[in-house]
Amino acid sequence: MKRKAVIIIVLAFLSMLSTVTVLANTDSAEGNTEEGNLEENSTDETAADDQSEDDNNKGNGIKLDPPDENKFEKVAENTNLILRADPESGHFIVDNKKTGKSLRSFPNPEGWDEGNTSDSWQIHLQSPFMFSYVEFNVRKDVVKESSFHSQGGTADFKKLENGFQVTYEMPNIGFVIPIEVQLEEDYVETKVLAAEIIDIKEFPEGDDQGKKDPKSRLVSLRLFPFLGAETSKKEDGYVFLPDGPGALVEFQQDRANTNNLYTERVYGDDWSFSSNSNFSTRQPVRMPTFGIKSENQTFLGLIEEGDVYANIVSAPSETLTQYNWATAEHLFRFKFFQPTNRKKLEGYFTYSEEMQREERTVRYYMLAGEDPSYVDMAKRYRQYLMEEKGLTRSEAKENISLHLALIGGGTKKGFIRDSYLPLTTAEQAGQIVKELNTSGVEDMSIHYYGWQRGGYENYGGHFPVAKKLGGNDEMKKFVDFAHTKGFQVYLDASSYTYNNTNKDGFRPKRDALRDLSSTVIKEYSYRGEKYLVSPKFMEKTILQDIKEAKELKVDGYLYGDGIGSILSTDYNNKYFANRRETKELQERVIEKTAVELNKVYISEGNFYGLKNVQHLSEMDDDYSYDLFVDQKIPFAQIALHGLISYSFQYGNMGGSTENRFLQGIEYGALPSFILTYEQSQKLMESTSLRRFYSANYKDWEKEIAAQYQSYNEALADVQDQFIVDHQMIANDVFETRYENGKRIIVNYNKTPYNKDGIAIEAEDFIILEGGR
């Protein structure tokens, strides 16, 4: 009898475990996107420590139904769309009058009974939003996950012109969250009225319950997280993620459970919340976009206001639910490390007390066309960049430009002291350019690295140009020589992000970036130890130095890192700037540089401030190789081609040279190489420059000339043309089509491709003019 009782207790315990869901560490506000175990009976200690399930989520075993569409009322209509809403929940449906298709703010009801989704996640699927919160009086380093229906909330619904407003109240936890939904010409926009959020539970004076208040505070919110979500039953669609150039997660019925979510911070990690934590190992999210295609219904999601405080979160079917979904996660509080000793080695993790209260808006574009795909998503993003971000079509040119990076000088490590290591003087740079031009390179855009006074590894005190490179006089001669050839010269200015010399009046304790605990932030990398400079100090220094750059008659600056690539909050009391203000500062620097020097390039750049940018260097050309990602796509390139030129990683640095060349042709990129005049073994004398192990220009001269001719033949006449189609026509065979009818087909296979009258040699490409 006792044995039977024990068995019953064990079974009951296991049954209880099966209803508990533990999310991955989706609170990447802390800058850590560590992937926890997502199985519903997870025992992953990291995930359990970082996030737990709200007790209200457990469910009661009752089968829940999707929202009743018969209760939805029409609240707005325009030429293309009709908006219907449910006053009880705030869920909505957008009907496309032209296609007859509908976009729901909740999962497709046709798949509701598929799979074995737990009670807790069925509640989440039905809810208009999910949220996470921290209990400061319980565990200030752990967030709990919940949802509107889990809390038994109420909704106060009010119609507005072209939409509606809902005020969600959850008395159990004391939260009030107001939102708006507006219908526009070809999209519906959701807005979180963050300034009006209440997340403090009020207790009557003298009520003893107040003493037991866990002090729950909102951390993040996913509004309508399952909008457009579909099952994989028909295997007729995919989720688009902004991973690298773009990635697709196909709808697959028998997909293995990968036990993790895709969750990444838009514009990358924030250094002020990432100290003592691991940075994400995925490619940074450069574009605030995501989307889903199912059958012939496709939408593009675009985070507008609050993009700097957002994650993109997604999961394929069979991970937590039977649905494929992608959403924006709005972040309001952030995890950080609070030191408790002067060495800052001991301390604890907690969340920021103050809420980030800027409004958050997401647009969902319903794409027209017979069978819209990721190409149509990218086209709509291009239209947005032109109409609302000021990008314009680029000018046609006779030849493409080779993007030639030159390393001026670095630091030679010495036994007693270091010394300057010249690698390409200004005079030698002229010789390299002359020889490449003679070899057949008709046009060049030259990026000069390590030109500054202390060389590549030394930050601060940039001017004058290093004496051992020839100083300002020889640099100006080189620029004049390049201009006589019609070539442009850009100085690397990403180095303004850091300081390790105390030049420019920099003092670490006064002028360095600080995190929320007031810790000065250092970076340790292949370029040595260095302080991150406060963005406002950096802006002041750059604008002072531009006058000297202007005297050299350079064509512009090549930014990167702290200008256009790294976006961090600064808690330095002297220079405080939140993440949005830092973004605006970077855009301001880019604009002023364009005015003073004419042009701006960005290395590894995010997609903001682009209207004043002419070229993106070292653009992401690969994805993060998550197990659930099925295909890499040129989403970013389709959106930008014909507006801004771009190049990928240097053709002589790592990986397969042939594969990188072919991808450049397929994606419409420009060729790029990084070179030195000195022999490659010279680079081994510098710790930070060893990674450019194969850079001697003589070793690459013939290869560069050959690649340039191929690029020029393929792409010279489409530099101002939009990409209008891209598709895989066979395994590892891809076709790109341009506005003028030109088609380029690339064969990555090690065997020839021959089909439908198209013959392509192994690892080669062909050009079909005018659609032939």
Pick 543 or 52 by higher pLDDT: 543
Q: According to the model, what pLDDT value does residue 63 have?
A: 61
**C-alpha span between 156 and 167 (Å, rounded):** 5
pLDDT at 277 over 80: no
pLDDT digits (tens, 9 = 90+) for 156-193: 999 999 999 999 999 999 999 999 999 999 999 999 99
How far apart are alpha carbons 455 and 617 in whole angstroms? 21
Compute CA 21 distance to the chain's CA centroid, rounded to the nearest angstrom: 27
Contact yes or no for 735/758 (Cβ under 8 A):
no
Q: How confident is the model at residue 771 (pLDDT cuts 50, 70, 90)?
A: very low
Which residue spans within 161-246 are E strands per DSSP? 163-170, 175-183, 187-192, 216-223, 230-231, 237-241
Domain boundaries 402-718, corresponding CATH code: 3.20.20.80
- Residues in CB range of 314: below 8 A, 6 or more apart: 239, 241, 249, 261, 262, 263, 290, 325, 326, 327
Least confident of 57-71, 588-602, 702-716: 57-71
What integer pLDDT is reported at residue 476 of this predicted model?
Answer: 98
Report the alpha-carbon distance of residue 423 to residue 677 in Å, rounded.
Answer: 6
Rounded Cα distance between 118 and 322, Å, is 10
What tokens does 664 get? 């450049």
Residue 25 has a pLDDT of 32
The DSSP output letter for 157 is E
Q: What is the pLDDT of residue 29?
A: 37
Q: What is the pLDDT of residue 413?
A: 81
Work out the burial of residue 394: count CB atoms within 10 Å of its CB; fewer than 13 is exposed, 13-18 middle, 19 or more buried: middle
Confidence band of 416 (pLDDT split at 50, 70, 90) = confident
The Cβ of residue 757 has, within 10 Å, a number of other Cβ atoms equal to 6
Tens-digit pLDDT profile for residues 331-356: 999 999 999 988 888 899 999 999 99
Give the torsion sign (CA, 755, 756, 759, 763): negative
Q: How far is CA 626 from the centre of its chain?
A: 15
* Domain boundary assignment for the chain: 2-32+44-389, 402-718, 721-772
| Predicted pLDDT of residue 656 | 85
Three-class DSSP category at 544: helix
pTM of the model: 0.92
Q: Give dist(CA 581, CA 76) in Å, integer.
A: 35
In terms of average pLDDT, the best of 1-15, 53-67, 88-102 is: 88-102
* 145 three-state secondary structure: strand
The pLDDT tens digits for 243-268 are 999 999 999 998 877 667 899 999 99
Q: Mapping DSSP to helix (H, G, I), strand (E, B) and coil, where does residue 651 land?
A: coil
Rounded CA-CA distance 303/609 in Å is 16
Work out the pLDDT band at 33, boundaries 50, 70, 90: very low
In angstroms, the CA 423 to CA 459 distance is 18
Alpha helices in 421-530 (DSSP H): 426-438, 471-484, 508-511
Length, in residues, of the chain: 772
User: Band of the pLDDT at 23, cuts 50, 70, 90?
Assistant: very low
In angstroms, the CA 689 to CA 685 distance is: 8
β-bridge mates for residue 83, sequence order: 76, 94
Is the pLDDT at 57 greater than 70? The verdict is no
Q: Residues 6 or more apart from 615 whose CB is under 8 A from it?
A: 403, 445, 601, 602, 644, 645, 646, 647, 670
457 contact partners, CB below 8 Å, separation of at least 6: 410, 411, 500, 527, 528, 686, 687, 688
Give the span between the Cα atoms of 648 and 621, in whole angstroms: 6
CA dist 358 and 513 (Å) reads: 22
CB atoms within 10 A of CB 40: 17
**Start-to-end CA span in the chain (Å):** 82
* DSSP state letters, 708-772: HHHHHHHHGGGTTPPEEEEEEEETTEEEEEETTS-EEEEE-SSS-EEETTEEE-TTEEEEEGGG-
Is the peptide bond prior to 535 cis by the omega test (within 30 degrees of 0)?
no
Two tokens, residue 746: 């690339």
**CA–CA distance, 646 with 603 (Å, rounded to integer):** 10
Q: Which of 141, 138, 139 is nearest to 50 (CA)?
A: 141
- 566 by Cβ neighbours in 10 Å (0-12 / 13-18 / 19+) ranks as buried
- Res 651: pLDDT: 95
For position 276, what pLDDT does the model report? 58
Q: Give the mean pLDDT of the chain.
A: 90
Q: Among 497, 500, 516, 517, which residue's Cα sits nearest to residue 508?
A: 500
Question: What is the model's pLDDT at position 606?
Answer: 97
- Work out the percent of the chain whose per-residue pLDDT is above 90: 78
Please say whether the beta carbons of 103 and 171 come within 8 A: no
Which is it for strands 758-760 and 672-675: parallel, antiparallel or unpaired?
unpaired
Q: Which percentage of the chain shows pLDDT scores above 70?
A: 90
100 vs 9, more confident: 100
Encoded tokens for 303? 């985070």
Q: Does the pLDDT of residue 77 top 80, yes or no?
A: yes
**Residues 427/470, Cβ–Cβ less than 8 Å:** yes
Amino acid 274: pLDDT: 72
Give the residue-averaged pLDDT of 125-129.
Answer: 97
CA–CA distance, 229 with 214 (Å, rounded to integer):
34
DSSP per-residue string spanning 572-602: -TTT-B-HHHHHHHHHHHHHHHHHHHSEEEE
Closest CA to 266 of 302, 233, 298, 294: 302
* Dihedral pair phi/psi, residue 544, rounded to 5°: -70, -40
pLDDT score of 150 more than 70: yes
Please provide residue 311's backbone torsions phi and psi, each rounded to the nearest 5 degrees: -105, 155
* Least confident piece of the model among 206-220, 508-522, 542-556: 206-220
